[in-house]
Amino acid sequence: MSKVRLRARSATCSNGSDMTLLIRNSSGLQNQFSSNLFNRKKMKQNKYMKSAKIILSAFMLVVGISSCINSTGNKSLSEKLTVADNQEKKDSTSIIYFAGGCFWGTEHFFKQVEGVTATEVGFANGHSENPSYQDVIRKETGYAETVKVTYDPKKVELDLLLDLYFLTIDPTSLNKQGNDRGDQYRTGIYYTSEQQLPFINERIKSESLKHSNPVVVEVTPIKKYFKAEDYHQDYLENNPGGYCHINPALFKVAKDANKKK
């Protein structure tokens, strides 16, 4: 009887030990599963974090490049506008174009004026591109023989240049000055700034009061201008006996007009 109980107890103990082992194994598997699940989640989270970092880095790189491009573009545009604005101010306050018949005499006349820093002869406000002298005198290019006058406004006023200009022309003669005939010899004042226009209009108005016939001097902005061939530049200086439709006595008038007293 005691042996039977011992066996039964032993069996009971054996079954309990197995059950305990089973529970322990089950608990270990559960912990391992939880650990694996946690590791998987962590790995997936790390993967997402890496992806997010890559995306964020790419976005920041694109934004940075875009910002640099825009900054460079805006700077270039700003610099271009500044240069253009400065050039416009420089040109508009110190350059004016006079068409007064043959440009040889008109250029030589304005070269005498104190405060005129440069002169150049060319063709203005026609409709073809880069015309030659022969094109202008033989073809209908629409260009006028013109003198580009660069001046220092601190030394000579535009009003004085306009007064001197009208001494050299017949403002009522259409397409003719002296012995020269044709629309290339028309008279015209071509301005480079709206600031110059009121002075020109006022001078045209006062000139009109002096004549019974209408004043036909063309007044427009400079639209096209091409420099004439080199042999036309400073023509009367290089050819003292050359043709000139302007009374030579006026050269001295121009020279003395702006002298300091």
What CATH number is associated with residue 151? 3.30.1060.10
Q: What integer pLDDT is reported at residue 96 of this predicted model?
A: 98
Res 104 pLDDT > 70: yes
Banded model confidence at residue 60, pLDDT cuts 50, 70, 90: low
Q: Which of 13, 68, 102, 244 is catalytic?
A: 102
- Quick check: pTM over 0.85? no
What's the domain range around 110? 94-256
115 assigned to some structural domain: yes
Q: Is residue 50 part of a domain?
A: no
45 found inside a domain? no
CA angle 193, 196, 198 (to 5 degrees): 130
Q: Give domain status of residue 206, yes or no.
A: yes
CA torsion sign for 81, 86, 87, 93 is: positive
Torsion region of 125: left, alpha or beta (phi above 0 gives left; psi -120 to 50 gives alpha): left
Does residue 175 fall inside a structural domain?
Answer: yes
Q: What is the mean pLDDT of residues 168-178?
A: 97
Which residues partner with 118 through β-bridges? 150
Q: Mean pLDDT, the chain, as a whole number?
A: 78
Q: What is the DSSP letter of 172?
A: T
Distance CA 239, CA 242 (A): 5
209-to-64, 157, 184, 213 alpha-carbon distances in Å: 67, 22, 26, 10
Q: What is the pLDDT at residue 47?
A: 52
Residue 182 covered by a domain? yes
Does pLDDT of 256 surpass 80?
Answer: yes
User: Is 219 a member of any domain?
Assistant: yes
Indicate whether 140 belongs to any domain.
yes
SS3 238: helix
In angstroms, rounded to a whole number, what is the distance separating the alpha carbons of residues 215 and 222? 20
Residue 250 has pLDDT above 90, yes or no: yes
The pLDDT of residue 259 is: 85
Higher pLDDT, 82 or 148: 148
How many domains, in total, are found in the chain?
1
For residue 244, indicate whether it is catalytic.
no
